Amino acid sequence: MARSVTSHEQEIDVVVLIKAAPEMGRKHGETVCVAGVDLNGRWHRLYPVAFRDLDKSRQFYRWDIVRVRWRRPQDDDRVESKRIDPLTLAVVGNVKQRERFGLVERSLISSLEDELNNGRSLALIRPDNVRFHTPRMTSAELDKSNRRRSQLINQGDMFAKSMIPATSPPVSFKYTFDHGGKRRTHSCIDWETERTFFKWRELYGEEEALRKMRAQWGEEMPASGLVFAMGTHRVKMFKKWLLSGVLQVPVGTQPFLL
């Protein structure tokens, strides 16, 4: 029997735009940061999402529409954050390619600084003069990153396979771009970017994988139309924007029909 919505819960449909790389937390175990917009263009951050534990019928991808029950969290005062009931999560639709421009266009902002000053922690921007680069980590940086991953994985369920790769990529994925009159550089924490590197490295070898990524992420995607999904860290002392999602959304005139 389906559980009724309590007085403290609400139900919402969200178009998934952000799936950041999995993290391990003390409270909720291995989770994925998920965020998106509703059909009115309002942002929602959904947490916790233990993506590894979702059955196949409830596993979702970018541009899927998920329905879930939520309540206000007690440990996260960012206005967009929602504490969800993972058992109620369901995939109820998908935004087709021809409709994505209309959805994104009404959510684009012109100033990240204004959004931050106004208390918002999620934003969509269309960057200009984009450069994608993959600087190699130093030995010390790579060792530190690998130790952190090992610690995260060891915190998890010893009988379950982690979605967090055991080793870090030997490079950082960075975008340098113009927005709001400023030249900016951000590391990309989009899950699909890291997963693509590991997949292509296995298929083509490391150097060819990086060459293909620089061509696709740095040339083909910016040429056809890029949108960046930006988010902020929950801890206020790290009050800065993070590049959480890379979306390919060509400029067009199609309306959002859903």
Predicted local distance difference test score (pLDDT) of residue 26: 46
* Alpha carbons 227 and 22: distance in angstroms, whole number: 22
Which one is predicted more confidently, 195 or 31?
195
Task: Tell whether the model's pLDDT for residue 18 goes beyond 60.
Answer: yes
Task: Tell whether the model's pLDDT for residue 164 goes beyond 70.
Answer: no
Is residue 156 one of the residues assigned to a domain?
no
Residue 122 sits in the same domain as residue 82: no
**pLDDT band with cut points at 50, 70 and 90 for residue 166:** low
Residue 188 sits in the same domain as residue 70: no
What average pLDDT does the chain have?
84
Is residue 118 one of the residues assigned to a domain?
yes
**Tens digits of per-residue pLDDT, 218-250?**
999 999 999 999 998 766 656 789 999 999 998
Structural domain for 194, as ranges: 108-135+171-248
Task: Tell whether the model's pLDDT for residue 124 goes beyond 60.
Answer: yes
Is residue 166 one of the residues assigned to a domain?
no
Residue 70 sits in the same domain as residue 114: no
Is residue 63 one of the residues assigned to a domain?
yes
Residue 81 sits in the same domain as residue 178: no
User: Three-state DSSP class for 136?
Assistant: strand
**Tens digits of per-residue pLDDT, 177-208?**
999 999 999 999 888 898 899 999 999 999 99
- What CATH number is associated with residue 32? 2.40.50.730
Q: 43-47 and 81-84 as β-strands: parallel, antiparallel, unpaired?
A: parallel
Is residue 49 one of the residues assigned to a domain?
yes
Task: Tell whether the model's pLDDT for residue 7 goes beyond 50.
Answer: no
Predicted local distance difference test score (pLDDT) of residue 149: 66
- Taking Cα atoms as reference points, which of 145, 193, 184 lies closest to residue 168? 145
20-50 per-residue burial string, b: 16 or more CB within 10 A, e: under 16:
bbbebeeeebbbbbbbbbeeeeebbbbbbbe
Is residue 73 one of the residues assigned to a domain?
yes
Predicted local distance difference test score (pLDDT) of residue 49: 79
Which segments within 126-187 are labelled E, that is strand? 128-133, 174-179, 182-187
* pTM score: 0.83
Residue 126 sits in the same domain as residue 228: yes
* Alpha carbons 243 and 181: distance in angstroms, whole number: 18
* Alpha carbons 123 and 133: distance in angstroms, whole number: 23
Residue 83 sits in the same domain as residue 192: no
Residue 241 sits in the same domain as residue 214: yes
57 Cβ neighbours under 8 A, 6+ residues apart: 91
Domain final residue pick, 42, 66, 95? 95
Which one is predicted more confidently, 154 or 14?
14
Residue 197 sits in the same domain as residue 235: yes
Q: Contact at 8 Å (CB) between 230 and 112?
A: yes
| Burial of 14: CB neighbours in 10 Å, binned 0-12, 13-18, 19+ | buried
Residue 87 sits in the same domain as residue 178: no
Residue 129 sits in the same domain as residue 205: yes
Is residue 254 one of the residues assigned to a domain?
no
Residue 74 sits in the same domain as residue 120: no
**Tens digits of per-residue pLDDT, 65-104?**
999 999 998 888 889 999 989 889 999 999 999 899 999 9
Split into its structural domains, the chain has a count of 2
* Alpha carbons 113 and 224: distance in angstroms, whole number: 27
- What CATH number is associated with residue 193? 2.40.50
Predicted local distance difference test score (pLDDT) of residue 175: 97
Predicted local distance difference test score (pLDDT) of residue 47: 85
Helix (H) or strand (E) holding 218: none
